[in-house]
Amino acid sequence: MGGMLLAASLGFDERPVTHAMADTRPRCVALFAPRVGGETRRLDDALLLVRRFAEALGARLEVYWLDVGRAGLEELVYMVKEHVRRLVRECSVDRVVFAPRAGLRVLTVVLTVAAMGLALEPGQRVTLLLREESIGAVYETDAASLAPVELGEEERRVLRLLAKHTLEGRGLGVREAAELLGIPRSTVHRRLQALAEKGLAYRAEDGYRATPRGIASA
């Protein structure tokens, strides 16, 4: 067990995919391409270059054509997750990197949502890797930190205040939170403990702080 699987989307330009492959050096690649009419030649040309690059890296490449014009978003997300799960087993990898950088916008959305859903399953290490070429920025994060968490109204109020303090570089104490939110300290204490148990907060020297997932969920 070991190694990494790259899940990427394909557009008319192969470079976002080949750049992701060069960055990650995957053992296997799950490439998702849109089944569209009238533009198959351009997709085929891009796919040919991706195949050659995969061969040069010694990576296994599996191409999955998605009927984006007919299937709903939920179905597309399900299909992506099923294909990735199967390839993870076949390639015996313990990490998945999603790079939804290219192709139709619906594909980038589907791969992003699939990454967040897959990250919540036991034993899966799932990373979301995005590169914004126009500003030279690279975003790499644990996909689970972006997955939504079900929260009660009071929990969310506490978490929003906690995230604000964390982003300002300071912790949040129980007394301060109670005064700012106008709720009893005992209630704040329970809510902060509940947030910590959900992986959304942690105890620091200067009080509580939000985790990356907590900030995204606030």
Measured in degrees and rounded to the nearest 5, phi and psi for residue 191 equal: -65, -40
Same domain for 114 and 11: yes
Last residue of a domain, one of 107, 126, 146: 146
The percentage of the chain sitting over the pLDDT mark of 70, rounded to a whole number, equals 92
Q: CA 144, 14, 102, 51 torsion: positive or negative? A: negative
**Does residue 13 register a pLDDT over 90?**
no
Same domain for 46 and 98: yes
Same domain for 212 and 121: no
Same domain for 53 and 128: yes
Return the pLDDT at 39.
63
What is the distance of C-alpha 108 from the center of its chain? 11
Q: What is the pLDDT of residues 137-183, one digit of tens each?
A: 677 777 877 777 888 888 989 999 999 999 999 999 999 999 999 99
Residue 194 is part of a domain; what is its CATH number?
1.10.10.10
Last residue of a domain, one of 97, 130, 146: 146
Same domain for 213 and 195: yes
Same domain for 12 and 117: yes
Task: Give the C-alpha separation, 181 to 172, whole Å.
Answer: 12
Residue 120 is part of a domain; what is its CATH number?
3.40.50.11700
Last residue of a domain, one of 146, 170, 198: 146
Return the pLDDT at 133.
63
Q: What is the pLDDT of residues 43-77, one digit of tens each?
A: 888 889 999 999 999 999 999 998 887 778 888 98
On average, the pLDDT of the chain sits at: 86
Return the pLDDT at 192.
94
The count of domains in the chain is: 2
Task: Give the C-alpha separation, 130 to 9, whole Å.
Answer: 12
Same domain for 159 and 130: no
Same domain for 160 and 103: no
Tokens 């939920």 map to which residue? 74
pTM for this prediction = 0.75
Structural domain range at position 209: 153-217
Same domain for 185 and 97: no
Same domain for 58 and 116: yes
Same domain for 164 and 206: yes
**Does residue 136 register a pLDDT over 80?**
no
Same domain for 157 and 141: no
The residue ranges of DSSP E strands in 69-184, in sequence order, are 95-99, 125-132, 137-142
Task: Give the C-alpha separation, 112 to 92, whole Å.
Answer: 22
